[in-house]
Chain A
Amino acid sequence: MNPAIQGRTYPATAPYLVGREKVREFARAVLSADPVSLDPSSARAAGFADVVAPPTFAVVVQEHTLAQLLADEDAGVDFSRVVHGDQRFSFTRPIVAGDELTATLTVTSVKTLGGNAMVTAESSIADAGGAHVVTAISTLVVRGDA
């Protein structure tokens, strides 16, 4: 684990097109019964062009940025030792089917405590117009050798 990666920003991910059926599939998987996520006409009645993703759907887009971090040999994050510590999503607006989203990860903090390291990664997710949609923040605990 390289502490010098604090402050590092990775290139924006390739655009992710949010599909209606993907949103519905994800909603069913998190046991949602929310009509705004499952039924396009309910979503339109609530003022959206198509179904609205459940709050934690943002992780699907965020995941592409975490893959960049884990693939960075210089960062030295050993995936087999990673435990998910904390997770947060902060929305400017909800994700809606039809959105084309890109995500940009910044390592905001690296701390070592005992033999373990804690890495906080903020992925800022924006729409095709460049407007902010949601920031997904993960703290990963990287267990030491002991």
Chain B
Amino acid sequence: MTAAADLAVGQVVAERTVPLTRDSLVRYAGASGDFNPIHYRDDVAASVGLPGVLAHGMLTMGAAVQPVVDWAGGAHRIRDYQVRFTRPVVVDPEAGATLTVSAKVAALDAEAGTARIDLTVRAGEATVLGKAQVVVVVG
């Protein structure tokens, strides 16, 4: 774990590629209790005009913060986490989907002992989360 004094705004603290499959969606549905069928049934997704089965937004949000959790030294170091869901993540039945996460220091608060880490989260080339900000305890 890095002390606040050793961090600089703009520094990339974590990068990760996160593969999602239909299995990931079923597992998340069971763990979270979100059984909306647009997350596992192609016919239902098509009937409401979606391009395919979508990852739960909360799965994308939950997986995207893990590189920061690992960097920060545990889930208990996260003070605040927010995202905007700007684009759905379509999960192909065979190829799945791949999220890429980049986490960068956006602001430091030495007095509070916290850093604000901003996430860039993409599925393929498209950014899927906006205003994705994590406040973590540092040092």
Interface residues, chain A, with chain B CB atoms under 8 Å away: 22, 25-26, 28-37, 46, 48, 52-56, 59-60, 63, 83-91, 94, 137
A91 & B27 in contact (Cβ 8 Å cutoff): no
A55 & B58 in contact (Cβ 8 Å cutoff): no
User: Contacts A55-B78, A55-B81, A88-B81: A33 and B66 contacting too (C-beta < 8 A)?
Assistant: yes
Interface size on B, residues (CB 8 A): 31
Which residues from B are CB-within-8-Å of A86? 82-85, 131
Measured CB to CB, the closest approach of chain B to A30, in angstroms, equals: 3
B69 & A32 in contact (Cβ 8 Å cutoff): yes
- CA of A87 to CA of B133 in the docked complex: distance in angstroms? 11
A56 & B62 in contact (Cβ 8 Å cutoff): yes
Which residues from A are CB-within-8-Å of B27? 28-29
- CA of A83 to CA of B49 in the docked complex: distance in angstroms? 14
Measured CB to CB, the closest approach of chain A to B68, in angstroms, equals: 9
| Contacts A29-B24, A84-B57, A87-B58 supplied; 11 other A-B pairs, CB < 8 Å | A22-B31, A32-B69, A34-B66, A52-B76, A55-B69, A56-B61, A59-B32, A59-B58, A87-B57, A88-B80, A88-B81
15 example contacts (A-B, Cβ-Cβ < 8 A) are as follows: A25-B30, A26-B31, A29-B62, A30-B62, A33-B70, A34-B70, A36-B74, A54-B65, A55-B62, A60-B33, A63-B33, A87-B82, A87-B83, A89-B81, A137-B82
Answer yes or no: B41 CB below 8 A from chain A CBs.
no
- CA of A37 to CA of B65 in the docked complex: distance in angstroms? 14
